[in-house]
Amino acid sequence: MKQKMKARAVAVKVLLRVVVDGRSLSVALPEQLVKLSDPAERPLTQELCYGVMRYGVRLEAIAKQLLNKPLKRKDRDVECLILLGLYQLIYMRIPPHAVVAETVEAVNAIGKGWARGLVNAVLRNFQRGEQKLLAKADSTPADRYAHPEWLLAMIRRGWPDEWQAIAEGNNQYPPMVLRVNPAHGSREAYLQRLQGEGMAATALTALPTAVVLQQPVEVERLPGFGAGDVSVQDGAAQLAAWLLNPQAGERLLDACAAPGGKCCHLLEQAPEVKEVVAIDIDEQRLQSVRENLTRLNLQAEVICGDASRPDVWWDGQQFDRILLDAPCSASGVIRRHPDIKQLRREEDIDRLVALQGEILTALWPLLAPGGLLLYATCSIFPQENHLQIERFLQTHHDATAQSVSDSWGRAMPVGRQLLPGDEGMDGFYYAPLLKSTG
């Protein structure tokens, strides 16, 4: 039987999977939560992991001041534990004596008993010099806003007047937003159901099916979740189905479809479409698409395929509408996935921009004349968004950018952009492209 551990020791294991192995929190956390000795500590473990990822850059700057010399690479687990302790002391309401005691105790659980004195000294020294340590860390913008220098610099270039608000928005806790299935009842009726369960919620005015919970809950607690009455999906992502606006009898392609939220929303909104084909290059992530379709009792043809190589999987029949949720930096959803700060690299951006262009060019012939392709990213970087579409329009004269007249976000030279936190939504970009009939 595998040894069970307390929250802080499990959190160290999760963080190591991210910072050493390059795994995402969404993958690493479920893998390690099974090691908890007390399942009731799941929320604490999750809070610790997400908190250290959210404020890691700032925490590392503070830890550097407190350590006489950098820890060896083989002791990254001790470093993670120190960051966990600092996060609790700065950002959580746990009594400081309990933070120090529990964090030092976790040293033995990770097999580094020699570091008890070190961890204890670092945390106590922080308590003694907290104000000076924080002030010194905050003298550098990257450390103050807890962003890697390259990432903050790129945000400043793209949004010179709003970069501080974006950085602060990236560090906020995202709301839990739901999408009500109109086939199972109205949003108003579901709000009443939530009220009956003691869950405070409000309507998201930008969308007719979106509900914002005042406090996040486990999905199993949502009324009717298992029956398909509701799904979890941020409002910005819900915009895709409304902008694509599928009609009865049409054939749709959802490119880069995993985990399937937008695909299911398209089918909920337009159940009389002829067919929806959902493709993704990752077979493992496609399992989430299939699970969502099953839970919601919806049908789509799910294909594992490379969107930039349609010759391998396309049947030759053109689509009336295409949703291209392009691979991107995910710079608009950092508040929801703070491990992006750790996992993303500056050199990734040019590679992603090139891939987006390849996919756009590859999928355009699959769109029927008069059809609509909706280009979407969860990025805030201009080179992935309106600059990408402007380049495409210069080389594809049968493409015309449609204006988006909605009031959300802000109009760009082409398309429309949401920044993190705009109207409570994630950072997203949308550009509808119409194919000429001539």
> Of 256, 189, 273, 257, which is closest to residue 229 (Cα–Cα)?
189
Residue 68 backbone dihedrals phi, psi, to 5 degrees: -65, -35
Cβ-based neighbours of 360, under 8 Å, separated by 6 or more: 324, 326, 375, 388, 392
User: How far, in Å, are 39, 62, 116, 128, 322 from residue 134 at the CA level?
Assistant: 34, 7, 24, 12, 49
For each of the domains in the chain, give its residue range(s) and CATH number, in order of start: 7-146 (1.10.940.10), 176-232 (3.30.70.1170), 235-435 (3.40.50.150)
Alpha-carbon span 337 to 332, nearest angstrom: 10
Nearest by Cα to 383 from 195, 155, 164 = 155
Query: Which one-letter amino acid corresponds to residue 95?
Result: P
**H and E: helices and strands count for the chain:** 18, 13
Whole-number pLDDT of residue 1: 39
Closest alpha carbon to 123 in 85, 157, 95: 85
Closest by Cα among 76, 23, 32, 62 to 340: 23
Catalytic residues: 378
What is the model's pLDDT at position 260?
96
- The reported pLDDT for the residue numbered 289 is 97
Q: Please say whether the dihedral angle defined by the alpha carbons of residues 408, 378, 146 and 28, taken in this order, is positive or negative.
A: positive
The H-or-E segment that residue 426 falls in is none
Q: Within 13 Å of residue 240, how many CA atoms lie on the same side as its CB?
A: 35
**CB atoms inside a 10 Å sphere around CB 87:** 26
Residue 2, pLDDT score: 58
The pLDDT of residue 438 is 74
Q: What is the pLDDT of residues 59-77, one digit of tens each?
A: 999 999 999 999 999 999 9
175-224, pLDDT tens digit by residue?
999 999 999 999 999 999 999 999 999 999 889 999 999 999 999 999 99
**Would you give the end-to-end CA distance of the chain in angstroms?**
68
Please name which of 424, 404, 422 lies closest in space to residue 414, comparing C-alpha atoms. Answer: 404
Q: What is the DSSP annotation of 102-142?
A: HHHHHHHHTT-GGGHHHHHHHHHHHHHTHHHHHHHHTTSHH
Which residues are CB-contacts of 104 (< 8 A; sequence separation ≥ 6)?
116, 119, 120, 123
Low-confidence ranges of the chain (pLDDT < 70): 1-3
